[in-house]
Structure 1
Amino acid sequence: ADAVETGNLLRRRNVGSNDDGEAEEEASVERAFLEKPVPTWREQLTVRAFVVGFLVAVMFSIIVMKLGLTTGIIPSLNVSASLLGFFLVRLWTSAIERMGFLKQPFTRQENTVIQTCVVSAYGIAFSGGFGSYLFALSETIAKQATEANDALNIKNPHLGWIIGFLFLVSFVGLFALVPMRKTMIVDYKLTYPSGTATAYLINGFHTPQGAELAKKQVRTLGKYFSMSFVWAFFQWFYTAGNDCGFSSFPSLGLEAYKNRFYFDFSATYVGVGMICPYIVNVSLLIGGVLSWGIMWPLISSKKGSWYPDSLPESSLHGLQAYRVLDI
């Protein structure tokens, strides 16, 4: 739906719109494209768009897997995908232009193709279950819990059935999006925030002022990415195994650490917290206090009553079962 909304906004010519406020706001950007014809679909689906889309999609899929296996929260990365796609293709076209071989300039529609490919790829990485249930069905994971080590609970990953499964997961959106597009986007004119923001951003990139802003944004992104990488690399030197190093430092005290309250000095959590809406951060904080600060100590005190006290803490018949259910 976000991709559809992005495409709709890029196709609009709002100079003659009946809504004067909306027309004035968007006409200032649209004037830069009045003399430029809309590219054909063959000019939008270019080799360079797919090559750059593939490279950015690989990087974003790794990021999404990292977030899925740690925070469990995947913020919208549409804007970042558009920014990196614009930057890489501009590097590509600038190099070719200097050599005198540039035949087709980079267009905003081509930028949208890159962004759509990237979002679709990392969407599959997340919704396809690679960071959750897909590999959790494997025999390797099942052996870690004796209660789940049963043939009925095991489905080892295999490229054949995974591809079929991902086709089913991906094409479900067509059956939901195509029939509802007219109702939600055309008739009711619902605004999808990430798609709308991406469309405005792409429009701005392809103006002279927007191109300069994009360079500054990419430099800022690269600076903080480097800082995060250096900090993670520094932490790695002080990690000798599980429950060791900065990631297991009892920053709030030993008693709080026993109840899983501590800061692991991960830049990932800080970055995701800055990207996500404040209501998500507040709800996670409240949920953490309720679960790890109230519920788990309460359930632990019921050992021998609610579940046998002879069971290890990792048993799915004991306290671990309540934790897995909550997660």
Structure 2
Amino acid sequence: MNHASKVGVMLPPAPRGMLPQLTVKAVILGIILAIVMAAANAYLGLFTGMTVSASIPAAVISMGVLRLFRHSNIIENNIVQTGASAGEALAAGAIFTLPALILLHHWSHFHYWWVVGLTGAGGLLGVLFTIPLRRSLIVDQKLAFPEGTATAEVLKVGDHPRAGLNALALAALLGALAKLATTGLQLFPGIAVAAGYISRRAVGYVGLHISPALLGVGYIVGLNIASLVFLGGAISWFVAIPIFGAYFITTDPQLAALAATHPGAADLAREIWSTQIRYLGVGAMLVGGLWALLSLRASLFVGIKGGLEQHRAGRAALANRSETDKDIPMQWVLIAVAALVAPLFYLFQSITGALVVSLPMTGIMLVAAFLFASVGGYMAGLVGSSNNPISGITITTILFAALVLLWLMGARSTIGPAAAILIGAVVCSAAAIAGDNLQDLKAGHLIGATAWKLQIMQGVGVVSAVLVMAPILNLLLRAYGFGAPTTLHPQALPAPQASLMAAVAQGVFGAGLPWAMIGTGAGIGIAVIAFDEWLKYRKARWRAPVLAVAVGSYLPLELATPIFLGGLVAYGARRYNGRRHGLGHTEEHMRRGMLFAAGLITGEALLGIALAVPIVITHDANVVALPEAIRQGSWLGLLVIVLIAAGLARVAMRA
């Protein structure tokens, strides 16, 4: 899931099509930022289950760097942030799915060419599938694309990027120092937890992760989304876990045996959540993915029909368009799609060894990738990438693919779950790329960039990120591990989406799923959708997208809490700015805060990757840890997160 702020007035496209665009310096800088943002978002997504948009931070960095050259222009900055954004979105597609192959024990490490083939082909399909939709969604239907509009405004007013760069750099330093203190030096615990027994087996649990990155995520998504994420966590941890512990724990032999040993309240709460309650999120996500398809069916048909009609109009229609409004020709799009499907079929054939299985896998992948890339692009245009149902549509794809493969391969198949995940990886990459890329094309449309040049740069960004994705994932796997903490990996990255997708794929092939919990989660999802429709009918400013609640319900509570805190900071800063500076200056102040928040995320994520290097080399998770005698308790971590939150608020409210 990706996020950014909204802005108001949209200006007409500027006549800038003749300015240099795909220059050497812009392409090189775009490639570098694509790699950096992909690495940072890979860590963030495995840690939190959420990713954030890289467009605005990349635009600010680009403006600062390209100003060092004698000649640079706004379109070059758009090219740079387009490449960086594609790298960030590609990381989301990879980390939401591929770690499931590790958790299924199908892979022991990330195979380089498999990662390149699956996510690279998926990402490029996402670029290609949005080309026929661009004109229909951006030019004809004039969808909002809030992140793309915000990026365009940043580029237009970017005469003085130094202040933004300073905010990014300072925040990155703070985020890195906090990560060093918790994961590296272990000066204080990374999580502050309080838990206790409400009755004999009912447990209460509260927790907060000492993470500036999560605080930054909450600020960027805003209080609306942050509060819904926390609501999902509250449903799981404050309601479902105590009720299950009090009345239903004996229905699970493993949990009943654990409860009989009278474990600590925190341990029992985590075990109940891990084995039962988090599947509420699966049900809610399935409903969210299906609802996205259902609610957008008419609009998607119009968009796809418009794209095909433009193709049939041929060269005569293209001749009447301005140079900036021309896409990559459709015949080249079709050739590229065919070229990408062939190696994917080969990969599927190599794992199944059966033509009767690999052909349906390829067909499901192709249809689902096109359909859900369209859904992702349209949703991004309506409500922004922050509400894109990427998790929901991916888990829907994996469930459907697993059921088809179960019919073809039988319940005893040992590769069925992995095959379903492979399909999901391609579809997730395509859907993640589609929404982000249409945001960048919207920004380019508003500032007068050439569409086909941006589409080429999107492909460059995908390829740049995918070439480094496997080494990054292997480094994080060896240093931290994925899934539940173990003795070998006590600070394992949760990889929430991948964990659930592995469980769903494995459950279809006989491992069993807590269907009662999934059904209950689906009921919760339906209730949230009904509530959101009521808000829509009332034309309420706040909405209730079901995927935000679903994400919160399958996240550990300690991750949802700082996200909510960051949302509160954003809300307080917006109210303060509106009263003191007036509405005209509110977005400028909020954008400054957003850059600070992005710096917190980037600094913590990159330091987490940097710390992985000595851990892997020495095979010692405590390689830079301080002696236990000078370590402090959770109080110091709570003080640090409060001070960083205060600093974020000050930056967002400073005149």
Normalised by the length of structure 1, the TM-score is 0.69
Tell me if the contact between 2:30 and 2:84 (Cα under 8 Å) persists in the aligned partners: yes
CA contact (8 A) 2:175 2:212 kept: yes
Residues of 2 paired with 1:262 and 1:37: CA distance?
A: 52
CA distance in 1, matches of 2:179, 2:227: 26
Spell out, residue by residue over 1:10-53, the C-alpha distance to the aligned partner (whole angstroms, 9 max, x if none).
Answer: xxxxxxxxxxxx7xx848x96xxx7x7722xxx32122112211
Equivalent position of 1:249 in the other structure:
192
Partner of 2:225: 280
Verify: 1:114 aligned to 2:86, yes or no. Answer: no
Query: Which fold has the larger relative contact order, with Cα–Cα distance below 8 Å and residues 6 or more apart in sequence?
Result: 2
Q: Does 1:290 align with 2:213?
A: no
Distance 2:17 2:110 in 1: 48
1:135 aligns with 2:82: no
Contact 1:56-1:81 within 8 A present in 2 as well: yes
Pick one of 212, 217, 239 that aligns with 1:267. 212
Aligned partner of 2:137 in structure 1 is 184
Structure 2 residue identity aligned to 1:118: A
1-structure distance, mates of 2:11, 2:251: 65
User: Which aligned segments of 4 or more residues in structure 1 are displaced greater than 4 angstroms?
Assistant: 153-156, 311-314
Q: How does 1:191-202 map to 2 (within 5 A)?
A: 191-202=144-155
The equivalences for 1:85-104 within 5 A come to 85-91=62-68, 93=69, 97=70
Aligned to 1:50: 27
Q: Report the CA distance between 1:298 and its aligned residue.
A: 2.0
Q: CA deviation at 1:306?
A: 4.3
Report the more deviating stretch, 169-178 or 65-74: 169-178
Residue pairs, 1:295-306, within 5 angstroms: 295-301=240-246, 302-306=248-252
Shift of 1:88: 1.7
1:322 and 2:263 matched:
no
Q: Which whole-Å deviations, capped at 9, do the CAs of 1:87-139 have from their partners, x for residues lacking one?
A: 12223x1xxx5xxxxxxx11111111111110111111111x23x3202312x
CA displacement at 1:204 relative to structure 2: 2.0
Matched residue, 2:257: 310
* 2:18 aligned to which of 17, 26, 38: 38
- The residue number in structure 1 matching 2:89 is 123
Cα offset for 1:165? 0.8
Q: Which residue number in structure 2 is paired with residue 226 of structure 1?
A: 173
Q: CA deviation at 1:230?
A: 2.2
Distance change (3 Å), C-alpha of 1:239 and 1:45: same
Output the CA distance in 1 between the equivalents of 2:54 and 2:100.
26
Give unmatched runs, 5+ long, in structure 2: 3-8, 198-202, 260-266, 282-553, 555-655
The amino acid of 1:46's aligned partner reads T
How big is the shift at 1:83?
Answer: 0.6
Q: Give deviations 1:138-190, integer Å, cap 9, x for gaps.
A: 2xx44xxxxxx5xxx55853222222212331133245422322321121111
Q: Partners of 2:23 and 2:47 in 1: how far apart?
A: 36
Checking the alignment, whether the CA contact within 8 Å between 2:137 and 2:143 is kept in structure 1 is yes
Q: Residues 202 and 155 from structure 1, CA distance in 2 versus in 1: closer, same or farther, beyond 3 angstroms?
A: same
Q: Is the 8 A contact 1:61 1:121 kept in 2?
A: yes
When normalised by structure 2's length, the TM-score is 0.36
- Partner residue in 1 for 2:587: none
How many aligned positions are there? 258
- Aligned partner letter, 1:69: L
Which one of the candidate residues 45, 51, 57 is aligned to 1:80? Answer: 57
Secondary structure of the structure 2 residue equivalent to 1:74: coil
Structure 1 residue identity aligned to 2:37: F
What residue ranges of structure 1 are gaps of 5+ in the alignment? 3-21, 98-104, 143-148
Question: Kindly tell me: are residues 238 and 263 of structure 1, through their superposed partners in 2, closer, same or farther at Cα, counting changes over 3 Å?
Answer: farther
Task: Determine which structure has the larger helix proportion and give its number.
Answer: 2
Equivalent position SS for 2:207 = coil
Write the distance in 2 (CA, Å) between the matches of 1:79 and 1:237.
Answer: 30
Q: Against the structure 1 CA distance between its residues 320 and 113, is the aligned structure 2 distance closer, same or farther, given a 3 Å change threshold?
A: same
Counterpart CA distance in 2 for 1:324 and 1:167 is: 30
Aligned residue number for residue 12 of structure 1 = none
Counterpart for residue 65 of structure 1: 42
Output the aligned Cα RMSD.
Answer: 3.1
Q: Distance in 2 between matches of 1:259 and 1:54?
A: 47
AA paired with 1:216?
Answer: A
**Cα separation, 2, equivalents of 1:219 and 1:278:** 25
